Amino acid sequence: MTPVLPDAAAAYDQAAVLAREVGARMAERLDYMKLTPQRMADIGCATGDGVRDLQTRYPKALALAVDLALPMLHGVRAHDRTSNSRWNRLLKRTPQLLNADVRRLPLADNTLDLVWSNLMLHWLDDPLPALREIHRVLNTSGLVMFATLGPDSLLELREAAQKVGAGDTARRFPDMHDIGDMLVASGFADPVMDMEIITLTYRHPRQFLADQRHLGARDHLLGAQTFRAWRQIFKAWSRDADGRLPVRFEIVYGHAWKPAARETAKRDADGNAIIKFHPR
């Protein structure tokens, strides 16, 4: 029997075309990683596509589904056909649900071996605290893998707004190189970053706006414009050769490993390093 989703989760699933495509492309990157996690988390899990894929790939790992929005976690549970089985829950075959902010995770240090995050980081005004928190909860040699939106996203709408003299209120996203610098500043080693452009097309602006509303992202993504300004922007939005309205998304992919902590030399009161010699 197909599970019945809560209204918010059902609407999200209907509109989450981009998230599913990006998640599938992220998963392909795991094929090249030597990793056997015992504990893993999908942070910003939405209705759980990512965590379910991780469980298929790593069936012996304990999986956490982490999201700030409770309706999304309800969607994870509704999707899980085995969630009504107490035996399966005891065997940890279903993801453990955690309602939490990525910047303040209620997890002990060195808890996870894999952190996965699909299209979540760009909603933070500053991703650095989240990356530091992810570093804290990862084990040594643990992996963080994520995708986020880059600065060339929504380029067509920005150009249309410029044509009609409307303010560019769409959200700005950090550059790939800035995210890489944040990973290093958070303590990760040798971050690997790359990007690609994915373009979605719509027959009418209403379809695009409906998708963003169902994702719970319309105002946060597009910002505030008057009704008159939006009408002008949509009229100036250039159609492609097939007569459809293109929306570009720059997808930034990244992964990095948590290295072993370096041992800090002990120092005396004057700041001089103390070196001890042991006779044979």
Domain contains 237: no
The pLDDT tens digits of the residues spanning 34-59 come to: 999 999 999 999 999 999 999 999 99
SS3 state at 219: helix
Predicted confidence band at 3 (pLDDT cuts at 50, 70, 90)? very low
Separation CA 185–CA 194 (nearest Å): 18
In sign, the C-alpha dihedral spanning 91, 94, 95, 97 is negative
Q: What is the pLDDT of residue 169?
A: 83
Q: What is the pTM of this model?
A: 0.85
- Give φ, ψ of 31 to 5 degrees: -60, -25
Domain contains 206: no
Domain contains 69: yes
Task: Report the CATH number that the domain containing residue 182 is assigned in CATH.
Answer: 3.40.50.150
Domain contains 226: no
Domain contains 238: no
**Burial tier of 83 (Cβ tally within 10 Å: 0-12, 13-18, 19+):** middle
**Does residue 133 have a pLDDT over 60?**
yes
Predicted confidence band at 211 (pLDDT cuts at 50, 70, 90)? confident
Number of folded domains that form the chain: 1
Domain contains 209: no
Q: Structural domain of residue 28, as residue ranges?
A: 7-150+172-195+250-257
As a residue count, the chain comes to 280
Mean pLDDT of 185-206: 95
The pLDDT tens digits of the residues spanning 226-250 come to: 889 889 999 999 999 999 999 999 9
Domain contains 268: no
* Count of C-beta atoms within a 10 Å radius of residue 196: 13
Nearest to 135, CA basis, from 111, 164, 99, 106: 111
DSSP 25: H
Q: What is the pLDDT of residue 87?
A: 45
**Does residue 24 have a pLDDT over 60?**
yes
Q: Are 11 and 46 in contact (CB under 8 A)?
A: no
SS3 state at 118: strand
Domain contains 204: no
